[in-house]
Amino acid sequence: QNRTITGKVLDDSNAPVAGASVTVKGATAGTTTNDRGEFRIQVAPSATALVISSVGFVSREVSITNLGADNNVSVSLAKSVSALDEVVVVGYGTTKKSILTGSVASVRAKDLENVPNGRIEQALQGRASGVTIMQNSGQPGSASTIRVRGITTFNNNNPLWVVDNVVVDAGGIGYLNQSDIESIEVLKDASASIYGTRAAGGVILVTTKKGRSGKLSVSYNGFYGTSAPARMLELLNATQYATLINERSIAGGGGIVYNDISTLGVGTDWQKAIFNNNASRYLHEVSLSGGTDKSTFYVSAGIQKQNGIVSTEISKYEKKNIRLASTHKIGNYVTFGQTIGYTYQKSIGLGNTNSEFGGPLSSAINLDPITPIVVTDPSVAATPLYANNPSAIRDANGNPYGISLAVGQEMTNPVAYIQTRLGGYNWSDDFVGNAYLEVAPVKGLKIRTSVGVKKAYWGNVGFTPVFFLSPTVQQAQNSYNRGENRTFNWNVENTITYNRKFGDHDVTVLAGQGAYVENIGASTGMTYLNLPITSYKDASFNFDLPLANKQGYASDMTQHKVSSLFGRLNYAFQDKYLLTGIIRQDGSTRFGPNKKYSVFPSVSAGWNVDKEKFFPVNKVVSQLKLRGGYGTSGNDASDDFRYLSTVVGGYNYSIGNGGTVTTGYSPLTLDNKDLRWEKTATTDIGLDAQLFNNFNLTVNWFNKKTTGILRPILIPGYVGVSASPWANVADMENKGLEIELGYRKRAGDLNISINGNVTFIKNKVLYVAADTNFIVGGAGFQSMGTITRIKVGESYNSFFGFQRLGVFQTQADIDNYKNKAGTPIQPNARPGDFMWADINGDGVITNDDKDKTFLGSNLPKYTFGFTVNLEYKGFDMTAFFQGAGGNKIFQGLRRLDIANSNFTTKALSRWTGPGTSNDYPRLVSNDPNNNFAWMSDFYLEDGDYLRLKVFQLGYTLPAKLLNKTGISKVRFYVTAENLFTLTKYTGYDPEVGGGVFGVDRGQYPQARAILGGLQLQF
């Protein structure tokens, strides 16, 4: 006869513990406590005890043999100060951190719930050691660049995202809602081998919230606030600008450009014209959870809207989402669970961000401050520039927006530019779901089948009116465009797990099989030209236009498939000696027929030293674990069909006497049937310790080496192909050290928790090709050409250019800068020009590689984050700092090839005579010494920064006040985001993310936001 036991779980301050796991000792089935800490569980007559555990608490075993007639038990859990007791997700299962042998970073819902992030990558920033996150743009809703333990390949470095055991394509993670997240784990080392295929860039495991049995629980979280730019550039005002332009022109032998400088005043502040100090932002999220011991559910819905701080009319983001998760026990052995979510996103972007070729930011930085935003002077508006161009953009009063003739090319009046992009936006509909069936027929055995699907639609709409922004930027006919894409991804995984204890031996075996298909999809689009309208508001595809004005396009996507077999063995002896072995075999469509499959093994071991008898009981070290491992993983996030050669036209000859060209075809390059995975091998040595009872310390040293990086190889001409084939060529390594230190202490009513982490990474290219030790880098800048280089022994894509030795102050300095032969090295230089280092010592400065050298790396040498949490009675405070350092940023905000681009106020400290500057050269129009034209360390600045990312104050109403209301929690909070950033960098924002190699061409800066919010729980 089974009996039902009810109970309540409380913490040491008698507050209910929600979500605590309650199981019968020796069985796996169990339940969890509801928000009041209550549980109800059916136990067999033979059951003798319950095991109660919860994250952050010391697990307890409670005897149930001597319960009263009501079968009720009250359990008090002691708060655990040891992170080692936490349960972590490791892929296809969980394990206690104390017996984990790998290096896994973990972030809990509790750490995130107070942080009003837009996307979940940002939630990870600064919280997990070894994980570097850089925001790509301050544009609301934009993604971040994530690097787990550095740059692993020359190609795609994105980590693999796995949500609730379902592999989700990278980049498509924006659909997730932060408040739905229970935990995030990052597999950083050999432990990632369980996802062998695509794990080289690290694996990020996201576990979402599930329902809890018991009374219906409802929670609400919402905030409203506004954003403003954290920092503006200091640009020259009209008077300063005209003075410098005149000086520059005269020095170059030209005439005076601006005669009446005294009348110019400060002129136009273009930044002010596009920045918004009051960009609104709000979010509302509601979730319901509940269920019985048979079935539980969790349903949530959210809406958020955010306006950007730059050109807000064309910088907005909104997201709406709904999600349902449920689990059901069918009989005694079977569990069924599912989640399904729908997310709608809509964003309007500036276009042309972080580009020196126009767009609002670049234009605002480079435009002359003399041109007015709006031309109000009728005599100016009557000039041919405006009068003869009826499509010049005008404001509501009919006045034309100012057009600069001093600063042309792609630079346009940013306020007018906004008018040309109205009505455009991107949208997406994502349906993501998964379902699983788990059978546990005998003790220790679990058989699980899961299916995951993602159906996504996304597209864009854009209207381009007829416009005249400048003589070079104009549009003669309007167009209306709509592009739509759809994909379907699915995957199936089957696993068997068996766990058994034999005396002191604890063995868990996992075996599994998976099949993954992505990109079953297609794209179509349509552009209508010359619509009989003038405003985007009237744009429609219903207009009946001649066929010639309707341009359609379409493409099919290429499927990406992976087939996998995997297994894992965990062995523990007395929880003291730990061993994990992993093996995974993957086959991928992306590799050559000879190398379709690859095997990724790993092995790791751990030793809980404190469990040894010889380990003395002491007050300093209460827990100590040493661990180490070695494993490999792969990367198949490369383009499809790189192992195949396409046959293309253009190899023509004229055959016949008519003079016509006959098209000839030839393979473009070689097939490479041996094209295979890039392999990344990680060695990891670490320790976890609990010190002085209140401190948790984790230290990891790693060496991550990737071999066979895919790149197009330069091949000898006798091969006979006109393009380079792809091959597994280059090698690169990342060595690093990660330190995490946590402190938790309760002193009376004061609860203190401080967690910090720091990661040091050194990246080094080991090999690039048989015939050369360098290849040109990925970043170019205007007419400088490539400004980075990938060279053996250097960090990936290091800056490469000329080195300054200072500014020549006098002609004597120039004459004295001599080579061995005694002749001046820079005979044509003038005082005020840069003294360039003669790197190769040949006595002359030449504009080629010989006098260029490595000037620094865009990769941070270290990244760090730390969080301080304080709780005192109902008050709480969170301060979260984060930063990076040791990297260089190329400050490329000025357009060099546009002679009259505006300068930052740094130019006021230019060289104007002996002793005036040894850093900023003279201004001269033709720049004969190439002071500005050459890539040099003049453009490089330190990227070090420390940012107070989040500062939050909250107050929770005392429980007794709420007793009769049915509300269990009310919390108010105020959050400040990006309150301050300490940096010497002179651009908008030192956080320059994305695939830009640290080149800031006008990055959309992150906003400073002040938000007020409310949390409710029923």
In the complex, which residues of this chain contact other proteins (CB under 8 A)?
Answer: 515, 555-556, 558-559, 561-563, 587-589, 593, 596, 640-641, 644-667, 670-674, 715-722, 725, 727, 769-772
The residues, ordered by sequence, that sit 6+ positions from 124 with a Cβ below 8 Å of its Cβ are 107, 131, 133, 146, 184, 186, 204
Residue 152 CB, nearest distance to other proteins (Å)?
23
Residue closer to other proteins (CB basis): 429 or 640: 640
Give CA–CA dist 793/781, Å, rounded.
Answer: 24
Nearest to 528 by CA among 466, 482, 468: 482
User: What's the DSSP call for residue 44?
Assistant: -
Residue 587 CB, nearest distance to other proteins (Å)?
4
E strand or H helix at 868: strand 862-872
Residue closer to other proteins (CB basis): 78 or 648: 648
Give CA–CA dist 86/183, Å, rounded.
Answer: 12
Residue 586 CB, nearest distance to other proteins (Å)?
9
Residue 650 CB, nearest distance to other proteins (Å)?
5
Give CA–CA dist 58/54, Å, rounded.
Answer: 7
Residue by residue, what is the 3-state secondary structure of 333-354?
A: CEEEEEEEEEEEEEEECCCCCC
Contact 487, 560 (CB under 8 A): no
> What are the tokens at 624?
């100590």
Residue closer to other proteins (CB basis): 587 or 885: 587
Residue closer to other proteins (CB basis): 593 or 1012: 593
Give CA–CA dist 834/938, Å, rounded.
Answer: 10
- The number of beta carbons lying within 10 Å of the beta carbon of residue 241 is 25
Contact 179, 138 (CB under 8 A): no
Residue 667 CB, nearest distance to other proteins (Å)?
4
Q: Are strands 166-168 and 160-163 parallel, antiparallel or unpaired?
A: antiparallel
Burial 26-36 (b: 16+ CB within 10 A, else e): eeeebbbbbbb
β partners of residue 594: none
Residue 514 CB, nearest distance to other proteins (Å)?
11
Virtual torsion, Cα 997, 946, 310, 407, nearest 10 deg: -60
Residue closer to other proteins (CB basis): 532 or 649: 649
Residue 521 CB, nearest distance to other proteins (Å)?
13
Give CA–CA dist 109/183, Å, rounded.
Answer: 5
Nearest to 588 by CA among 454, 494, 678, 680: 678
Residue 651 CB, nearest distance to other proteins (Å)?
4
β partners of residue 411: none
Residue 671 CB, nearest distance to other proteins (Å)?
6
Residue 725 CB, nearest distance to other proteins (Å)?
6
Nearest to 475 by CA among 420, 425, 412, 414: 420
Residue 556 CB, nearest distance to other proteins (Å)?
6
Q: Scanning the structure block, which residue is given the tokens 């031309």? A: 375
Residue closer to other proteins (CB basis): 76 or 485: 485
Give me the sign of the Cα torsion angle 130, 131, 134, 136.
positive
β partners of residue 587: 563, 597
Residue closer to other proteins (CB basis): 560 or 895: 560
Residue closer to other proteins (CB basis): 322 or 515: 515
> What are the tokens at 91?
């892929």
Residue closer to other proteins (CB basis): 396 or 770: 770
Residue 782 CB, nearest distance to other proteins (Å)?
21
Burial 704-743 (b: 16+ CB within 10 A, else e): bbbbbbbbebebeeeeeeeeebbbbbbbbbbbbbbbbbbb
Give CA–CA dist 284/275, Å, rounded.
Answer: 26
Residue closer to other proteins (CB basis): 640 or 871: 640
- The number of beta carbons lying within 10 Å of the beta carbon of residue 612 is 13
E strand or H helix at 962: helix 959-962
Secondary structure (3-state) at 988: coil
Q: Are strands 279-291 and 295-307 parallel, antiparallel or unpaired?
A: antiparallel
Residue 513 CB, nearest distance to other proteins (Å)?
10
| Amino acid in the structure at residue 1000 | D
Give CA–CA dist 414/402, Å, rounded.
Answer: 10
Residue closer to other proteins (CB basis): 243 or 513: 513
| Amino acid in the structure at residue 522 | A
| Amino acid in the structure at residue 867 | T
Residue 938 CB, nearest distance to other proteins (Å)?
33
Look at phi and psi of residue 880 and say left if phi exceeds 0, alpha if psi is from -120 to 50, else beta.
beta
Residue 515 CB, nearest distance to other proteins (Å)?
7
Residue closer to other proteins (CB basis): 266 or 647: 647
Residue 594 CB, nearest distance to other proteins (Å)?
9
Give CA–CA dist 598/677, Å, rounded.
Answer: 7
Residue closer to other proteins (CB basis): 591 or 911: 591
Residue closer to other proteins (CB basis): 49 or 769: 769
Residue closer to other proteins (CB basis): 370 or 675: 675
The residues, ordered by sequence, that sit 6+ positions from 681 with a Cβ below 8 Å of its Cβ are 630, 631, 632, 704, 705, 706, 707
Give CA–CA dist 88/106, Å, rounded.
Answer: 7
Residue closer to other proteins (CB basis): 287 or 645: 645
Residue 155 CB, nearest distance to other proteins (Å)?
18
Contact 889, 940 (CB under 8 A): yes
